[in-house]
Chain A
Amino acid sequence: MINFEYARAKDVADAVRQMAAGPGAKFIAGGTNLIDLMKGDVERPARLIDISRLPLKSVEETATGGLRIGALVPNADLAYHPLIEQRYPVLSSAILAGASQQLRNMASTGGNLLQRTRCHYFYDVATPCNKREPGSGCSAIDGHNRMHAILGTSEACIATHPSDMCVALAVLEAQVHVNGPAGERAIPFAEFHRLPGDTPQRDTNLQADEIVTAVELPAQGFAANYTYLKIRDRLSYAFALVSVAVGLQLDGDRIKEARFALGGVAHKPWRDPAAEAELRGQIPDAARFKRAADTLLRDAKGFEHNAFKIELARRAIVRALSQAARGTPQSQSDKKIR
């Protein structure tokens, strides 16, 4: 790890001020991703601004029936929070599908959003990577790309966003509250993460001088009909090859509202309004789910080692929509997929 300076932020305004004071600074909260990247020389901050003691650790009800989650609420606390378990079980399930309990105890809500890809080449500073070193090239496109994206890729980058939590937040249509020198603003979740395009070095639309302060959930939590189905190379503690978060609202035997998002397949959680619209007003049925999956995957493109993900995603979508419609969400401890 390189040498760096360290300072603690006194409050959010102080954190913003310290970030604006000079280049090369990074915020640190849980540190689970940043310290790892610093050990690998991938991140080389000159200063770390410790925000871990800021008062952003509460989960509060909003006037509109939703919840406001402080950016420093640890992932484990959020997953086991009674209001999340009751009203937003897809979020609880997605969090528990990711990382290990030690990491979930450390990792923050805001940090989960901002974690970097786990592309092997991004981590290997001896290889070209446009995300780490813009303009150096992408080693993954013709390399070991089993873990990589099949949707929304560019010639510059085929990395995936690794979060499970964010896939559920996409379905829940959360808002990300941020603070910066220009004041506060809220970013709709769908606009928070970016596709790589020709600027893969930018994962999100958060500005370099901004800090995430909270994630707000709207009232609709899909608590009755949801699932988080994660397919990976080992049964626990591995990143998704494909994951699917689903929230359905049923009206009698018909689907009133359908939302589903995929993880492990793109540079951001992947939703497709056209695919969701196909399910609205319909009776849940595997053939219809497959057509919706076909719609979502219509532009999917595989690479040498990950083309299998297209069919895997199709089947995972059908299975996840079926689980949600039946009201039998995927268990994150009994790994049998039913």
Chain B
Amino acid sequence: MARTSKTTRATAAPIPVPAKTPVTLVVNGVERKIDVAPWTTLLDALRDHLDLTGTKKGCDHGQCGACTVLLDGRRINSCLTLAVMKDGAHVTTIEGLAKNGALHPLQQAFIEHDAFQCGYCTPGQICSAAGLIAEGKARTDDEIRELMSGNLCRCGAYPNIVAAIRQAMGAMGGRS
């Protein structure tokens, strides 16, 4: 964004570009080694360094949830995390949910309930729902809605998303 002279601030001397840092991530069960600059977000590392483009960049500010992945089993916004900070972590993306050729119960439920239209928010919705089921705090539809509020769907598929999560939660016995 262009900045007016009025608000241009004195800044420290330019930082020389540091050498890239080696980072090891266990992504969908596979150890991956990458070299990243300190300012590379986990989202950009997944998409641009590991070619795992299932995780989407929506707002890039933690407001939409499209970039949701599971980090050491917990759902997070990968756009607000630096890859260098997560050296050694286990990351599960949408690409890692299906097992042995069978869709994850959430993926199957999203199809059965038509829980998307354009599909852009869907990987984040499904990873977020997997985190929600693992947390075990949502029992009612109200609780599902509240604990899924970090995932926006501009197509408005919310009723079907709640129905899909409710079905998967039942099928999985509350476990991810």
What A residues does B104 contact at CB under 8 A? none
Contacts known (A101-B132, A237-B149); A6 close to B137, Cβ less than 8 A: no
Whether, in the assembled complex, A36 has its beta carbon less than 8 Å from a beta carbon of chain B, the answer is yes
A residues sitting closer than 8 Å to B (CB atoms) are 1-6, 23-24, 28, 31-32, 35-36, 38-39, 41, 44, 46, 48, 50, 52, 76, 80, 99-103, 105-106, 125-129, 132-133, 136, 235-237, 332-335
Q: For A23, list chain B residues within 8 Å (CB).
A: 12
Cα A103 to Cα B61 in complex, Å, equals 11
The B105-128 residues at the A interface (CB cut-off 8 A) are 128
Is A106 within 8 A of B76, CB to CB?
A: yes
Given contacts A46-B12, A103-B62, A105-B74, contact A35 B41 (CB under 8 A): yes
- Partner of B1 from A41, A106, A235 at Cβ < 8 Å: A41
Q: How far is the CB of B18 from chain A (nearest CB, A)?
A: 6
Q: Is the CB of B137 within 8 A of A80?
A: yes
- A31–B80 Cα distance when bound, in Å, is 6
Q: How far is the CB of B146 from chain A (nearest CB, A)?
A: 4
Given contacts A125-B3, A133-B9, contact A99 B76 (CB under 8 A): no
- A237 to B12 alpha-carbon distance, docked (Å): 35
CB distance B81 to A5 under 8 Å?
A: no
Show the binding face of B for A, using Cβ within 8 Å: 1-4, 6-7, 9, 11-12, 14-18, 21, 37-39, 41, 60-62, 65, 68, 74-77, 80-82, 84-85, 128, 131-132, 135, 137, 140, 142-143, 145-147, 149-151
Given A36-B62, A50-B84, A102-B131, 20 extra CB contacts under 8 A: A3-B15, A3-B17, A3-B18, A3-B39, A5-B18, A6-B84, A24-B12, A28-B82, A31-B82, A36-B61, A44-B11, A46-B12, A99-B150, A100-B150, A100-B151, A106-B76, A126-B1, A126-B7, A128-B6, A236-B146
| B contact residues around A28 at 8 Å (CB) | 82, 85
Neighbouring B residues of A32 by C-beta, 8 Å: 62, 77, 80
Q: In the bound complex, how far is the Cα of B80 from the Cα of A309, in angstroms?
A: 32
Min CB distance, A122 to chain B, in Å? 11
Chain B residues with CB under 8 A of A99: 150
Q: List 20 A-B contacts (CB under 8 A).
A: A1-B39, A3-B39, A6-B21, A24-B12, A28-B82, A31-B85, A32-B80, A39-B60, A41-B1, A46-B12, A46-B15, A48-B38, A101-B75, A106-B77, A125-B3, A127-B7, A136-B6, A237-B149, A333-B140, A333-B147
A23: min CB distance to chain B, Å: 7
Residues of A contacting B: mostly: loop
Query: How many inter-chain residue pairs (CB < 8 Å) link A and B?
Result: 123
A44–B14 Cα gap in the complex (Å)?
11
Output the nearest chain A residue to B87 by Cβ-Cβ distance.
A8
Residues on the B chain within 8 Å of A106, using CB: 76-77, 80-81
CA distance A126 to B4 in the complex (A): 6
Verify B38–A101 contact, CB threshold 8 A: no
Residues in A whose Cβ lies below 8 Å from that of B39: 1-4, 38
Q: Is the beta-carbon distance between A128 and B7 smaller than 8 angstroms?
A: yes
Neighbouring B residues of A333 by C-beta, 8 Å: 140, 142-143, 145-147
User: Which residues of chain A have C-beta atoms less than 8 A from B21's C-beta?
Assistant: 6
A32 to chain B, nearest CB (A): 5
Q: How far, in whole Å, are A38 and B22 apart by their CA atoms in the complex? A: 23
Q: How far is the CA of A24 from the CA of B68 in the complex (A)?
A: 31
Q: Which 8 residue pairs across A and B have the least CB separation, nearest first?
A: A100-B150, A236-B149, A6-B38, A237-B149, A333-B146, A46-B12, A3-B15, A24-B12
Kindly report which residue of chain A lies nearest to residue B11, judged by CB atoms: A44
Q: Please, how many angstroms separate the alpha-carbon atoms of A132 and B10 in the complex?
A: 12
| Chain A residue nearest in CB terms to B141 | A333
* Residues A100 and B17 in contact, CB atoms below 8 Å apart: no
Interface residue from B15, B16, B80, B140 paired with A2 (Cβ < 8 Å)? B15
Q: Which of A5, A100, A335 contacts B65 (CB 8 A)?
A: A100
- Distance between Cα atoms of A24 and B12 in the complex (Å): 7
Closest chain A residue to B132 by CB distance?
A101
Which residues of the other chain, B, contact A50 by a CB distance below 8 angstroms? 84-85
Taking each of A3, A5, A99, which has the highest tally of chain B beta carbons within 10 Å of its own beta carbon? A3
CB distance A105 to B143 under 8 Å?
A: no
Q: Out of B4, B14, B18, B60, name the residue touching A6 (CB < 8 Å).
A: B18
Q: What is the minimal beta-carbon distance from A156 to any residue of chain B, in angstroms?
A: 15
* Residue of B with least CB distance to A129: B7
